[in-house]
Amino acid sequence: MNLLYRTRKALRQRYRRWADRRTRPAAEFHLDRRRLYIFPSKAGFGFIALVVVLWLLATNYENNLIFMLCFLLLALFLVSIHFTHATLSGLSIKPVRAQSVFKGDAAAVELCISQARARRREQISLRFPGGESLMITLENAGDTFVTLLAPTQRRGYLDPGLLTIESVYPVGLLRVWGHSRFRFDAAVYPAPVKDHARTSNRKGSGEGHYAGSSGSEDYVGLKTYEVGESLRHVAWKQYAREQGLWSKQYGDAVETRIWVDWDDYTGLDTEQRLARMCWQVCECATAGGVFGLRLPGSELPPDRGVAHKQAALRRLALHGIGDESRVDDE
Amino acid sequence: MKAGLTMNRLDWQLSRNGLFWVLFSFVSVVALHLDHLPPWVVALAALCVLWRILEYRGAVPFPPWPLKAALVAGTMAVLAMEYRFLLRLDPMISMLIAGFGLKLLEMHHKRDAIVLVYLAYLAAALNCIFTQEIPDFLLVLLTFVITTTAMVSINQSKATGFSMGSSRTAVKMLATSLPIMLALFVVVPRLGAFWSIPVPKNQARTGVGDTLAPGGYSELVASDKVAFRVRFDGEIPDRNRLYWRGLVFSNYDGSEWTQASFYGPDRPVLEGGTDGSIVRFGQALDYTVTMEPSHRRWLFALSTPASNETGVRLIRDSRIVNSSRISVRRNFDVRSWLDYRLEPEGLHPHRAALERSLPPGFNPETLRVAQEWARETPGAEALINRVLELYNQSFVYTLEPPLLGTHAVDDFLWGSQRGFCEHFASSFVFFMRAAGHPARVLSGYLGGEVHPTENFITVRQYDAHAWAEVWIEGRGWVQVDPTAAVAPERIEMSLADLFGDDDGFLADSPLSLVRFRNFGLVNWFFLQQDYLDYAWGTWVLGYDRRQTDFLERLLGRVSTFRLGLLFLVAAGITFLPYLVARLIKRQRSKPDPRDALIRLFCERMARAGLPRNTGEGILDFARRIAAVQPQIAAEALAIANTYVAQRYGGLDSQPVDELRRLVRRFNPPKVKEPG
């Protein structure tokens, strides 16, 4: 039993590697004979056993009617190859968009599945490795948009892996499946790791102090509020007078800017450093402060706001990952 | 091998649609087997279905496991008590149905439902062991359709409510399977039984029985059921030679004729065909007897039959029996000689005594007259003629003879003088024995109806007949039909022609078509039905014996290549309707030319560096173009608006020219990369 299980597991891994190699990322996958695989399901093997039992019965009873029924079921099995294959054949899958997430979170990936002609296709399951499967039923011609969750395991560009699209419809005797793989521009940020010791060590030293404890001593003036800025800095008085949304500027800009710096995290490996820097970026952004990001060979000038935070996270995500290391699409 | 056999993770719960079709399939299987199920199994099945429906509606809980265990144990116990041997066919069917029903109660997952669907296929197919008639087989096919629908419905999405649509898919798939099924049926070789198998027991036996008493044939005459059909390879012999021998009776106890144990079905088998007791000469007749299930072992054939069929044995009194009961329609190839001598060399003293023996104390008048006549008329032939003369003078051949007393032969010969064939045969043999000549009664069928266009004969139960054989020194056994002496027309005509208006004839089937055959259309229909049934028996039920001939006729020469070609043709026939339908559809749904123009428009924009995004509406796209490339904003918006108005705004009857002109003229400049 154990041996069987292990053999099956090994075979499955082998298949997975082969399919991985075979399936190159593309902008659109058209499921056809070259892309679809078909094989009897467990129920299909049971059905074959039923056919064999009927054949034995027919032979032993020399009963031609049972022969006929036995052959009817065998023929049903054969034509169901066509019908099951047709459940997926002719579909196209395109990526629409994907969400950037922290490593370990599931990224929502939106896909567009389209068929040229109206045709009822039931019980199509879509799944990224390790993710939940989604069951859909197609009916009309045109596009159907689905959102799948793809678990993430590595920092960098989002690569949810091989998408498996499969179905056993209509009779469950065979399973037809295909794989596709897409490139996404979305990034997987490092999973933030809190490291108070280091951040508090640096407090007071260096160029600035921590934005979360930013003093409100020196009120400088008003500036148009930008989405993403801390609500604590909103000039509520002006807002109440219906003069618009302004945010208050404090102190010396140079004094309060913070550098999230690679060199602050010595003694750690790259991923550990990035994880801590990621946490710091999040903290800074939540506090609404101005921060910059320094990585070996690149620097993001200090700024604030959602777009800035995302730019910073994206730099962290893609640090050390060149465009060339993206899954190539030759 | 496979990427994740994780289907059980997907939607493993059984849908409502699936549940109902599986229940439906179960009910149809039970209905098929209604005849061979004890009533309590049917009641149990009904209870299970009802419980499962109530369970589904939330009215009753799932049965707790002690109850289920008790039900299973109880079922097994009752089955064991009822049948004693569980490894028979009937108890196995009962067990299958009972198990199926109990399994319904705990069917919640797709997995369970799949097992039940397979069981339903199996149980439905088993019905063909019991009966092989065309209507029964059509019912089995209907059950297959329902079961296939159940299989489709359990694979449909759970959102599907109870729907007949599932059966459309099933019918489509089964219809597609038919040509391949036929090809397989025609080609796949039949290997013959591997091991001995249980056959249905306790079936009602039909046809002539192994005893004969006056009035014993009235039941047969009341039935128009087919006993057997015969196809002759050559000319069909004259009707008056078609005496189908079934049984030979040598024992008489005063009321009933029975077979002598010496002639019992097993012992006096003639291995290799003959030991000199049967002398055949003249032309041999080859024919195939298609026996309907009689649930008896004896077969019916013309005089001096010989057969090479496995399990068929020739018996010394010149008839053939099968080694097991005939429970399904079966074909037997037989060869007979109509000219023969049977035991011409003399009878063994023991046999001679047996064939002359009479029960003491019966029919004193007949004994007296027979001995008197034997003195007056020496020689068997002369005596036979004298007795037949007697019959011919004053006897009446009738379906409704009066009842006879203890001295049945006396009452008949010297009293009522009205009787059916068994009265004549029985009294004749008694008389001959009383006169000292060895004689015996034969039972079987006489004649049969020759189909006007096809070369076969249908013998029905009302053709049952009894006649006699007398052993004559130097000639052996000589066949004598006393009925012919009193009613020669019986030999030339069928009973239906003779007694068509009689009450006793076909008393069990008042609406039988045989009664109305003087109407042309009814007769035509009757003959067609008869032929269909005959063809079913020889071409479907008995196909294995014709397979080689048929394949050779079909393919010219049987080779792998030609067999492969046959399958290709079958597959072609299978998918031809789809190809045709697809072609028609493609022609009918010509793409709208506007779609092609829009595609061209998008291609040009893409080449200019601004591709349309997936899922982006054409109007949104035009607005984006307008924002990025103000200089072509007007043209892009015009194209998008025209397209949307014509395609979706109900203006699609307008000419395409305007849009075509707009798109043709459209030539966007390259978009500069920002920054």
Tell me the pLDDT tens digit for each residue of B121-164. 999 999 998 888 899 999 999 999 999 999 999 888 776 666 77
In angstroms, the separation between the Cα of residue A168 and the nearest Cα of chain B is 7
More confident residue, B40 or B592: B40
DSSP single-letter state for residue A322: -
The pLDDT value recorded for residue B487 is 82
Contact call for A170 and B180, based on CB within 8 A: no
Q: CA B257 to CA B251: how far, in whole Å?
A: 6
Partner A, chain B 129-148, Cβ-Cβ below 8 Å: 129, 132, 137, 140, 144, 148
> Which amino acid appears at position B533 of this protein?
D
Give Cα B396 to chain centroid, integer Å.
41
Q: CA A278 to CA A312: how far, in whole Å?
A: 8
Partner B, chain A 69-108, Cβ-Cβ below 8 Å: 69-76, 78-80, 82-83, 94-96
Distances, alpha carbon B298 to alpha carbons A217, B206, B326, in Å: 119, 12, 8
Name the range with the highest mean pLDDT among B428-432, B505-509, B545-549: B428-432
In angstroms, the separation between the Cα of residue B159 and the nearest Cα of chain A is 10
Cβ contacts of B156 on chain A, cutoff 8 Å: 122-123, 169-170
Distances, alpha carbon B377 to alpha carbons B105, B383, B483, in Å: 82, 6, 22
Residue positions counted in chain B: 675
pLDDT over 90 percentage in chain B: 21
Following DSSP, what letter does each residue of A70-119 receive, concatenated? Answer: HHHHHHHHHHHHHHHHHHHTT-EEEEEEE--EETTSEEEEEEEEEESS--
Q: CA B84 to CA A194: how far, in whole Å?
A: 77
Cβ contacts of B137 on chain A, cutoff 8 Å: 65
Partner A, chain B 320-349, Cβ-Cβ below 8 Å: 328
Q: CA B488 to CA B446: how far, in whole Å?
A: 13
DSSP single-letter state for residue B538: I
Which of A64-78, B409-423, B425-439, B595-609 comes out lowest in average pLDDT? B595-609
- Residues with Cβ within 8 Å of residue A155, at least 6 apart in sequence: A103, A188, A189, A190, A271, A274, A316, A317, A321
| pLDDT band at residue A126 using 50, 70 and 90 as cut-offs | very high
**Given CA atoms B217, B221, B224, B229 in this order, what sign does their dihedral have?**
positive
Q: CA A160 to CA A152: how far, in whole Å?
A: 7
CA dihedral B19, B22, B28, B31 (to 10 degrees): -80
Q: Structure tokens of B61? A: 């809980």
Q: CA A158 to CA B663: how far, in whole Å?
A: 38
Mean pLDDT of B113-122: 94
Cross-strand pairs, B494: none
The pLDDT value recorded for residue B673 is 54
Quick check: A141 contacting B, CB < 8 Å?
A: no
Using DSSP, state whether B241 is helix, strand or coil: helix
Q: Structure tokens of A255? A: 């004094």
In angstroms, the separation between the Cα of residue B148 and the nearest Cα of chain A is 8
Q: CA B351 to CA B250: how far, in whole Å?
A: 10
Q: CA B10 to CA B154: how far, in whole Å?
A: 13
Contact call for A164 and B5, based on CB within 8 A: no
Give Cα B122 to chain centroid, integer Å.
16
Encode B167-198: b = buried (16+ Cβ within 10 Å), e = exposed: bebbebbbebbbbbbbbbbbbeeeeeeeeeee
User: Is it the case that residue B275 has pLDDT exceeding 80?
Assistant: no
| pLDDT band at residue B32 using 50, 70 and 90 as cut-offs | very high
The pLDDT value recorded for residue B522 is 81
Quick check: B87 contacting A, CB < 8 Å?
A: no
The pLDDT value recorded for residue A244 is 73
Which residue carries 């998918």 as its tokens? Answer: B575
> Which amino acid appears at position A228 of this protein?
G
Search chain B and give the residue with CA nearest A71: B181
Distances, alpha carbon B601 to alpha carbons B312, B355, B637, B642, in Å: 84, 107, 12, 13
Q: Are A125 and A134 in contact (CB under 8 A)?
A: yes
Q: Which of A57, A71, A168 sits opposite B181 (nearest CB)?
A: A71
Give Cα B619 to chain centroid, integer Å.
67
Which residue carries 């829009």 as its tokens? Answer: B598
Q: Which of B115, B151, B544 sits opposite A172 (nearest CB)?
A: B151
Which of A228-237, B109-118, B166-175 comes out lowest in average pLDDT? A228-237
Q: CA A327 to CA A20: how far, in whole Å?
A: 11
Residue positions counted in chain A: 330
Q: Are B230 and B432 in contact (CB under 8 A)?
A: no
Search chain A and give the residue with CA nearest B589: A117
Please enumerate, as own/partner, the contacts of A131-136 that have beta carbons within 8 Å and a separation of 24 or more: A131/A106, A131/A160, A133/B6, A133/B9, A133/B10, A135/B10, A135/B11, A135/B157
Distances, alpha carbon B122 to alpha carbons A46, A56, A315, B38, B147, in Å: 12, 12, 65, 19, 11
Contact call for A169 and B5, based on CB within 8 A: no
Q: Structure tokens of A3? A: 């041996």
Residue of A71, A122, A165 to mutate, testing the B interface (most B Cβ within 10 Å of its Cβ): A71
pLDDT over 70 percentage in chain B: 89
Give Cα B615 to chain centroid, integer Å.
59
pLDDT digits (tens, 9 = 90+) for B78-103: 888 877 776 777 888 888 899 899 88
pLDDT digits (tens, 9 = 90+) for B146-155: 999 999 998 8
pLDDT digits (tens, 9 = 90+) for A240-262: 877 777 777 665 444 467 888 78
Which of B42-51, B440-449, B476-485, B538-547 comes out lowest in average pLDDT? B538-547
Which of A196-200, B146-150, B386-390, B666-670 comes out lowest in average pLDDT? A196-200
Which residue carries 């750690």 as its tokens? Answer: A268
pLDDT digits (tens, 9 = 90+) for B399-437: 888 888 888 889 898 888 888 888 999 999 999 999 999
User: Is it the case that residue B259 has pLDDT exceeding 90?
Assistant: no
Partner B, chain A 107-136, Cβ-Cβ below 8 Å: 112, 117, 122-123, 125, 133, 135
Q: Which of B174, B188, B589 sits opposite A76 (nearest CB)?
A: B174
Q: Structure tokens of A173? A: 């005797």
Query: Which residue from B651, B644, B649 is spatially nearest to B598, judged by alpha carbons?
Result: B644
Tell me the domain boundaries of chain A.
11-189, 196-215+251-324
- Can you state the angle between helices B165-187 and A64-88, rounded to 10 degrees? 130
Cβ contacts of A46 on chain B, cutoff 8 Å: 114-115, 118
**Mean pLDDT score of chain B:** 83
Q: CA A202 to CA A261: how far, in whole Å?
A: 11
Q: Are B474 and B484 in contact (CB under 8 A)?
A: no
Q: Are A179 and A23 in contact (CB under 8 A)?
A: yes
Q: Structure tokens of B238? A: 């004259």
Q: CA B29 to CA B310: how far, in whole Å?
A: 34
DSSP single-letter state for residue B536: I
Which residue carries 């020759």 as its tokens? Answer: B450
Contact call for A171 and B173, based on CB within 8 A: yes
Cross-strand pairs, A157: A187
Quick check: A10 contacting B, CB < 8 Å?
A: no
Quick check: B641 contacting A, CB < 8 Å?
A: no
pLDDT digits (tens, 9 = 90+) for B333-357: 999 988 888 888 888 888 888 888 8
Contact call for A175 and B7, based on CB within 8 A: yes
Query: Which residue from B473, B455, B441 is spatially nearest to B347, judged by alpha carbons?
Result: B473
Quick check: A137 contacting B, CB < 8 Å?
A: yes
Give me the catalytic one of B33, B411, B421, B463. B421
Cβ contacts of A86 on chain B, cutoff 8 Å: none
Give Cα B607 to chain centroid, integer Å.
70
More confident residue, B592 or B625: B625
Q: Which of A16, A47, A53 sits opposite B3 (nearest CB)?
A: A16
B21: exposed, middle or buried (Cβ count in 10 Å: 0-12, 13-18, 19+): buried
Cross-strand pairs, A23: none
| pLDDT band at residue B10 using 50, 70 and 90 as cut-offs | very low
Q: Give rounded-to-5 percent helix, strand, coil for chain B.
A: 50, 15, 35
Quick check: A64 contacting B, CB < 8 Å?
A: yes
Q: Which of A60, A63, A112 sits opposite B614 (nearest CB)?
A: A112
The pLDDT value recorded for residue B125 is 95
Q: Which of A72, A125, A169 sits opposite B177 (nearest CB)?
A: A72
ipTM above threshold 0.90: no
Give me the catalytic one of B90, B224, B481, B530. B481
Contact call for A117 and B589, based on CB within 8 A: yes
User: Is it the case that residue B327 has pLDDT exceeding 90?
Assistant: no
The half-sphere exposure of B312 on its side-chain side, counting CA atoms within 13 A, is 23
Q: CA A286 to CA B358: how far, in whole Å?
A: 122
Q: Are strands A258-261 and A291-295 parallel, antiparallel or unpaired?
A: parallel
Contact call for B156 and A172, based on CB within 8 A: no
**Mean pLDDT score of chain A:** 81
Helix (H) or strand (E) holding B306: strand B305-306
Q: CA B450 to CA A260: how far, in whole Å?
A: 107
Search chain A and give the residue with CA nearest B127: A66
Query: Which residue from A160, A146, A24, A147 is spatially nearest to A101, judged by alpha carbons?
Result: A160
Cβ contacts of A60 on chain B, cutoff 8 Å: 193-195, 197
Q: CA B95 to CA B91: how far, in whole Å?
A: 6
Contact call for B126 and A57, based on CB within 8 A: yes
Cβ contacts of B10 on chain A, cutoff 8 Å: 123, 125, 133, 135
The pLDDT value recorded for residue B283 is 85
Query: Which residue from A252, A254, A248 is spatially nearest to A231, judged by alpha carbons?
Result: A248
Cβ contacts of A59 on chain B, cutoff 8 Å: 190-194
Contact call for A76 and B614, based on CB within 8 A: no
In angstroms, the separation between the Cα of residue A1 and the nearest Cα of chain B is 16
Q: What are phi and psi of B510, to 5 degrees?
A: -60, -25
Mean pLDDT of B288-308: 88
The pLDDT value recorded for residue B301 is 92
Mean pLDDT of B616-627: 85
User: Is it the case that residue A224 has pLDDT exceeding 80?
Assistant: no
- Residues with Cβ within 8 Å of residue A186, at least 6 apart in sequence: A97, A98, A99, A100, A101, A107, A157, A158
Quick check: B536 contacting A, CB < 8 Å?
A: no
Query: Which residue from A167, A161, A154 is spatially nearest to A320, judged by alpha carbons?
Result: A154
Question: Residue B336 CB: number of other CB atoms within 10 A?
Answer: 21
Cβ contacts of B121 on chain A, cutoff 8 Å: 50, 54, 69, 73
**Given CA atoms B287, B293, B298, B300 in this order, what sign does their dihedral have?**
negative
Q: Are A287 and A211 in contact (CB under 8 A)?
A: yes
Q: CA A295 to CA A314: how far, in whole Å?
A: 12
Search chain B and give the residue with CA nearest A60: B193
Residue B421 falls in the annotated catalytic set: yes
Cβ contacts of B543 on chain A, cutoff 8 Å: 64
